[in-house]
Amino acid sequence: MLEVEGLHLRYGHKEALRGVSLKVAEGEIVTLIGSNGAGKTTTLKAISGLLRPHRGEIRFCGRRIDRDPPHAIIAAGLVQVPEGRLLFPAMTVREHLDLGAVRAPPGAPAPAKRLDDVLSLFPILGERSAQKAGTLSGGQQQMLAIGRALMAAPRFLMLDEPTLGLAPVMIDQLADAISRLHKGGMTILLVEQRVDLALHLAHRGYVLQTGEIAFENEARLLLDDPRIKTAYLGA
Ligand SMILES: Nc1ncnc2c1ncn2[C@@H]1O[C@H](COP(=O)(O)OP(=O)(O)O)[C@@H](O)[C@H]1O
Ligand SMILES: [Mg+2]
């Protein structure tokens, strides 16, 4: 469904990606693992069209998208939940969800149906509908960021560090929501600092080191891989 091939990307003179290739098949959850600064966010932003790679190709559902503007990529069904959530503190929960609905592709379920689906995934967003985003807890803000993305009716969701800074109970709730989304048919590319959690949710994982894919494998094999254990699982 998503094919990334030989992606190179620079910030000025600094090379952030040096030939990143990865694939995500329809229905999969794939995780991209790596230390701070490895290039995970840069990879997601390049896929979303927010950053332009200077070399390489990105295909979504068989079509090249690496020259498309971000709105066209969202309209094709590929939506990113950004790192840090990027909400508007003074806008209400409902206003965020309505904003997300603006970009849905033709043929998507009606906005009211999508809203129902989001509220059944995250009932708290219904209860807090009129509350300003800035007054939500960190976990609720992350749910809102995911809810807003889902209002665009994606077929493919990219999540950048959804559990960053959250309390354990919230992390469990989010993991459960990701897993329910997947069971509902969503294809997911997940960037997650909590590597154990990511590898329990995902089918496969890619390990990114200083802008390059160092290795990849099935998630259950990566959980037992000594390179993962020492570098990311603190074993
Ligand atoms: N806007 C930017 N300008 C310059 N360098 C950047 C910018 N964003 C990220 N970088 C650099 O690119 C590299 C990859 O960053 P990033 O993709 O954010 O990593 P990760 O998400 O894996 O932590 C890092 O060395 C980071 O310092
Ligand atoms: Mg990042």
Closest listed ligand to the CA of 164:
2
- Asked whether 39 lines ligand 1 (CB < 6 A), one says yes
**What sign does the CA torsion over 176, 177, 180, 182 have?**
negative
35 CA distance to ligand 2 middle (Å): 9
pLDDT in tens, 142-156: 999 999 999 999 999
- Asked whether 51 lines ligand 1 (CB < 6 A), one says no
Task: Give backbone dihedrals phi and psi of 204, rounded to 5 degrees, phi first.
Answer: -140, 160
For 160, the token pair is 């950048």
Indicate which residue's Cα is closest to atom 1 of ligand 1.
11
Confidence of residue 85 (pLDDT cuts 50, 70, 90): confident
Confidence of residue 229 (pLDDT cuts 50, 70, 90): confident
Per-residue confidence (pLDDT) for residue 5, from 0 to 100: 98
Q: Which atom of ligand 1 is nearest to the CA of 35?
A: 22
Per-residue confidence (pLDDT) for residue 48, from 0 to 100: 97
pLDDT in tens, 109-132: 888 999 999 999 999 999 999 999
Question: How many CB atoms are located within 10 Å of the residue 110 CB?
Answer: 11
34 CA distance to ligand 2 middle (Å): 9
Say whether domain 2-84+155-232 belongs to CATH 1.10.540.10: no
Task: Give backbone dihedrals phi and psi of 85, rounded to 5 degrees, phi first.
Answer: 70, -35
pLDDT in tens, 98-113: 988 877 777 888 889 9
Is the pLDDT at 235 greater than 70? The verdict is: no
Distance CA 59, CA 56 (A): 10
Per-residue confidence (pLDDT) for residue 219, from 0 to 100: 97
For strands 187-191 and 156-160, give the pairing.
parallel
pLDDT in tens, 169-197: 999 999 999 999 999 999 999 999 899 99
Q: Where are the beta strands (DSSP E) in 12-169?
A: 14-24, 29-33, 55-60, 63-64, 78-81, 156-160
Domain ranges, ordered by start, for the chain: 2-84+155-232
